[in-house]
Amino acid sequence: MGKYKAIISDIDGTLAPVVYHSVISDRVKKAIKDLNGKNFTFSLATGKPFFLIEHLIEELEIKSPVIVDNGAAIYDPLTKKPLWDSIIKKESADIILEIAKTYRKEIRASSGRESYELKDKIPEDMRPRKFVAMGLKPEEAGSYIKKIEAALKDVIVVRTSSFKGKDLLDVYVTNPDATKQHAVLKLAEILKISREEIIGIGDHYNDFPLLMACGLKVAMGNAVDDLKAIADYIAPSVEKDGVADVIDRFVLNNNR
């Protein structure tokens, strides 16, 4: 099997095209299932909340913990409960919502296994770990990020692709310790492997932390240029089943 013991893959734009309900190609599904019984871990690191990837976990027969909410939580797919998460302080959450509302876009917060649309205020019993402003134009996303960063020093803000439109962006806000990098390192501890033994695969700006936490950095052929610049290997695009290529090349050694 070589020196690698795990692959941690982004979903949208990496494992599957960017849509609300991710659909994985037959070739990629087969490649992932070919890893079963080989003492190798295939896991996910996504900006989506847990409930939106449950169908993928079942479809791909994933048994290892998965990273959700852009690194703000790690879930056990068997118990469907968090092994770790990072909750945004209420004072910060209120400020995030007030700024987000000025853009008149869909605003959602992840709490527990679900994601909730927010309008006027945050419910008292909500424990948000991630906020997302959805479908922003690039200039709106830039403005929103600047306002959040100016108002709060205890959060981190990243942009990513949006299923709302090809040229639109979603913007995530989480705690500073809730990035894909932090979560990958925590997951490595859970799996009892080193970061050097992990292959990370991604395509967008929020995948920088994912790749930086891994021993082998893989950018998809459709990835943003800045991510390709730090990659050790550029895989074929999501439309050409790039994740299957990575599994064949670096794990199953069928594509040398």
Per domain, the residue ranges of the chain are 6-85+178-251, 90-174
Query: How far, rounded to the nearest angstrom, does the alpha carbon of residue 86 sit from its chain's CA centroid?
Result: 15
Task: Report pLDDT digits (tens) over 207-253.
Answer: 999 999 999 999 999 999 999 999 999 999 999 999 999 999 999 98
Residue 15: strand, helix, or coil: coil
Right CATH number for 6-85+178-251 from 1.10.10.1100, 3.40.30.10, 3.40.50.1000, 3.40.50.300?
3.40.50.1000
Rg (alpha carbons) of the chain, rounded to whole number: 17
Query: In CATH terms, is domain 90-174 a member of 2.60.120?
Result: no
Does the pLDDT at position 2 exceed 90? no
Record the pTM. Answer: 0.91
Task: Report pLDDT digits (tens) over 162-212.
Answer: 989 889 999 999 999 999 999 999 999 999 999 999 999 999 999 999 999
Q: Which residues fall within 8 angstroms of residue 232, CB to CB, at 6 or more apart?
A: 216, 217, 218
Q: Pull the structure tokens for residue 159.
A: 């942009």
Does the pLDDT at position 130 exceed 50? yes
Name 116's bridge partners: 109
Q: What is the pLDDT of residue 23?
A: 86
